Amino acid sequence: MDDIIIVGAGIGGLALALALHAAGIPCRIFESAAEIRPIGVGINLLPHATRELASLGLEAELTKIAIATADATFFNRFGQLIYQEPLGRAAGYEHPQFSIHRGDLQLVLLDAFLARAGRDRLHTSHHCIGVEQDQSGVSVHFSDAPGGADRGSIRGRVAIACDGINSAVRKQFFPGEGEPRYSGVNMWRGVTRWKPMLSGASMVRAGWLSHGKMVIYPIRHASEADGLQLINWVAEIETPVYRKRDWNRPGSIDDFIGAFADWHFDWLDVPSFIRAADRVLEFPMVDQDPLPRWSFGRITLLGDAAHPMVPRGSNGAGQAILDARALTSALLENGDAVAALAAYQKQRLEATTRIVLTNRTNPPDAILREVFERTHDKPFGAIEDVISRDELVALSEGYKRIAGYSKEALRG
């Protein structure tokens, strides 16, 4: 009864469970899936998020699996270099930027939680269908799967909805919210085993959305057997028709490879790289308008359930991890659970709203848009004639400040 009930064992739910456990606050996780399997493709963790994971004692484990991203490198669709800057430790941060398979990250978090808190603290096949509260606590109602048989209710002190972009709890509090906001860009995502490219730890962004943009970065170390890394890629193309979002929807290479047919660069032959993919998934680039509130008495939202954002700033998983830290601190500082959830909302809602809105307008790839527009999509002679180094740095640093990971912010 005194437990905190966490709904969802994704990145946010597991990070929260680990932070609460470390703070001596008892919690239990209830996950819809029958089994936690390492699904998804690549994600990035910026230094403000890896700082939190380091404080949970996970940096060494993550270093074994993830790539410590060394640089961000921007090209136009003709393969001309626009801008390069160091990232993570290479840029002087105390903590690394990690590029990692989402499933690898989820399993590191899961294994740590099971080892530290015990297997009986995770309940799979518990799909949340609603939450109620009274003066003394919450009752969370479950079925055994989406649309499945009733599993009854669990009592707890508070309930934290970490149930992702299709959050059942968010829908309960905002029933009229409607469909997500489609950005007009569809994404095809995949992973390819390939030899290391550029620095071997580069995060590449190339092209522009109207003609096809690629984001490419390695997420697993080179295998000793063949020297190949697992390399994540996302092809992003303006596409008028919205196709429903589902993380596991298979995509077809023929639907998008035409945009990259002549991308033959000295550092990568893009069409061959795409064709060599293990698997291709498709996902519309969507978000939702920021909410006016997340906390309702003893119930609150966290991670994608609270602030789904378009994935253009490497921030989705990281912001869920920062939410987890803020909520844990609020619960430690406030004896009253309702006051704690209100304090958490106060600290995080405005900060994440700024990121959701900036990801729509000026994420890091605004650098590509600027050059695309100024050159009218033609090759340039010298980049300095198109855009100054100072302007490029200002675009990049502006996003870091808004997303909360400028070096000054992390020194504080």
Ligand X SMILES: Cc1cc2nc3c(=O)[nH]c(=O)nc-3n(C[C@H](O)[C@H](O)[C@H](O)COP(=O)(O)OP(=O)(O)OC[C@H]3O[C@@H](n4cnc5c(N)ncnc54)[C@H](O)[C@@H]3O)c2cc1C
CB 263 within 8 A of CB 77: yes
Residue closer to ligand X, measured from CB, 11 or 268: 11
Please state the φ and ψ torsions of residue 36, each to the nearest 5 degrees: -90, 110
Classify the phi-psi angles of 212: left when phi > 0, otherwise alpha if psi is within -120 to 50, otherwise beta. left
Single-letter residue type at 262: D
Rg of the chain taking only CA atoms, in angstroms:
21
Residue 33 engages ligand X in binding (rule: CB under 6 A): yes
CB of 11 to ligand X, least distance (A): 3
CB 260 within 8 A of CB 212: yes
Q: Strand 81-86 to strand 71-75: parallel, antiparallel, or no bridges (unpaired)?
A: antiparallel
Q: Which of residues 238-297 bind ligand X (CB under 6 A)?
A: 247
For residues 189 to 218, the per-residue mask of contacts with ligand X, x marking binding by CB under 6 A and - elsewhere, is: x-----------------------------
Residue 328 engages ligand X in binding (rule: CB under 6 A): no
Which of 35, 30, 36 shows the shortest CA–CA distance to 126?
30
Residue closer to ligand X, measured from CB, 320 or 383: 320
Of 311, 363, 364, 404, which lies in the binding site for ligand X, with binding defined by CB under 6 A? 311
Q: Which of residues 103-132 bind ligand X (CB under 6 A)?
A: 127-128
Provide the Cα torsion 8, 203, 220, 118; round to 10°. -30
CB 293 within 8 A of CB 348: no
Distance CA 49, CA 45 (A): 6
Residue 313 engages ligand X in binding (rule: CB under 6 A): no
CB of 385 to ligand X, least distance (A): 35
Task: Tell whether the torsion through CA atoms of 67, 399, 319 and 312 is positive or negative.
Answer: negative
Question: CA dist 135 to 24, 291, 294, 406, Å?
Answer: 23, 25, 19, 42
Q: Which of residues 129-168 bind ligand X (CB under 6 A)?
A: 162-164, 168
Of 5, 6, 19, 40, which lies in the binding site for ligand X, with binding defined by CB under 6 A? 40
Residue closer to ligand X, measured from CB, 169 or 383: 169
CB of 375 to ligand X, least distance (A): 30
Please state the φ and ψ torsions of residue 257, each to the nearest 5 degrees: -65, -25
Residue 31 engages ligand X in binding (rule: CB under 6 A): yes
Residue closer to ligand X, measured from CB, 159 or 392: 159
Of 8, 284, 313, 364, which lies in the binding site for ligand X, with binding defined by CB under 6 A? 8
Residue closer to ligand X, measured from CB, 164 or 212: 164
CA angle 335/337/332 to nearest 5° reads 50
Q: Which of residues 42-81 bind ligand X (CB under 6 A)?
A: 43
Stretch that binds ligand X, among 38-46, 117-125, 286-294, 391-399 (CB under 6 A): 38-46
Q: How many residues are listed for the chain in this entry?
A: 412
Residue 10 engages ligand X in binding (rule: CB under 6 A): yes
CB of 43 to ligand X, least distance (A): 4
Residue closer to ligand X, measured from CB, 101 or 157: 101
CB of 105 to ligand X, least distance (A): 8
List of residues contacting ligand X (CB under 6 A): 7-13, 30-33, 39-41, 43, 102, 127-128, 162-164, 168, 189, 247, 303-305, 311, 316-317, 320
